[in-house]
Structure 1
């Protein structure tokens, strides 16, 4: 009798464990489903924007800009530089291709928190200073390296960023654009007077803060590029906001 009870107890424990695993799997599947659904919602909302765009770097490899244009792309931001010494290897090719296609384009700089804004601006201008451009430059500030595990000091982030914003405004005579992710914005930029237009990456929901550009997905697949990265970032701009970021003569 004792053994029978013991076996029954072991059996019930196994049943409970199996049920717990199944419940956990169901929760994960439901969560993943909600995630996919939210991405579809973001893409659906973005489809109603008048101006559809992309942002690109060397990861997209050789780009046929006419093919992108034929798929409804009307603007693009092209990676130019990073930190004080790096220039994107596809910068010139992307510049020439976008310019010849008639797509509106601008350039972005990936901000380093380990380098002086002055030398970063010198790097940016050395790379694009002779180029024509339709849209004001953008500063990309986001998580990189091990920053999520070792978050930098907020004062340092804002000091570096605002100095870079000021340098760009002095050079071009207009506010630049700040690209950032929703989580980075919430931790560092929310409530700060940055003196720039916002470009928000939120691939799940419609951004709640003011913005002029919305990156609504980083998982788009299109024809027209042959790089190691099969995905391409997609962005949108409201027609009424375009003039804010057009570079004046």
Structure 2
């Protein structure tokens, strides 16, 4: 009898544990889509196209001593367990603030301030849609809806998230030269509004295709590279090193996990400029 009871308990544990683990590894809600499966405008987020276009190749190596763990979040992740993330070693976070000139994250304030309340250094990002407005107008929209910067030692410079178009043509219908011009206009307006150079988040394959390997931003704008693999790999044209790396979309508590390529002291330097 005792043996049978133990066997039943073992079977129950085997059934329960995977679902508990799964709850830690997936986002809290699915990205909304229309009837034909196309994502709803406003639902885009960092790395949305990475798995589709670049895939995933191996688990990332252990973080080096000089790297600092971070996360990025958007509205679909809802309430974030910031205290648990902080306790697990996450020290910085970026929250989606805006998209195009038509969308602001309804959870932005809670997510952005929630990360700061537990001690994290935090920032905001803008999902670019170059087919819906100029670079300058989207930079203004971003700054006006949470993407500004303040010299308080806890605010990271804003991020331009420029990657595959989830709603249509990968390069938003723009030629490489037109795309470079759009990006330049966004960056110039952001700097004129905030005094800081924005970080560029992108994936190497998208960048080299849609800008035709343009290398003119590496000297001024920090790079946040997206690659779900065991190493950062080849960087986009123009950069010899990366500042941040989004290495997975299936991390614990929050799927999108990142590493800052430096210590927390260097992270603070990026915040203060």
* TM-score, normalised via structure 2 length: 0.67
Return the alpha-carbon distance in structure 1 between the equivalents of residues 123 and 147 of structure 2. 12
1:235 match: 258
User: Would you say how many aligned residue pairs link Structure 1 and Structure 2?
Assistant: 203
| Secondary structure class of the residue paired with 1:242 | helix
Cα 1:173–1:130 change in 2 (3 A) is: closer
| Secondary structure class of the residue paired with 1:95 | helix
Cα 1:129–1:165 change in 2 (3 A) is: closer
Cα 1:198–1:130 change in 2 (3 A) is: closer
Answer whether contact 2:68 2:259 (CA < 8 A) is retained: yes
Return the alpha-carbon distance in structure 2 between the equivalents of residues 49 and 219 of structure 1. 23
Return the alpha-carbon distance in structure 2 between the equivalents of residues 182 and 129 of structure 1. 24
Name the one with the larger helix percent.
1
Select 2:232's aligned residue among 195, 206, 215: 206
2:58 match: 39
Return the alpha-carbon distance in structure 2 between the equivalents of residues 146 and 97 of structure 1. 33
1:164 match: 186
Cα 1:48–1:219 change in 2 (3 A) is: farther
Structure 2 unaligned residues grouped into runs of 5+: 1-54, 236-240
| RMSD between superposed Cα atoms in Å | 2.4
Displacement of 1:66: 1.0
Displacement of 1:247: 3.6
Structure 1 unaligned residues grouped into runs of 5+: 1-34, 223-230
Displacement of 1:85: 1.9
Residue correspondence of structure 1 range 105-184 to structure 2 within 5 A: 105-114=122-131, 115-128=133-146, 134-144=155-165, 145-148=167-170, 152-184=174-206
1:65 match: 82
Cα 1:101–1:162 change in 2 (3 A) is: same
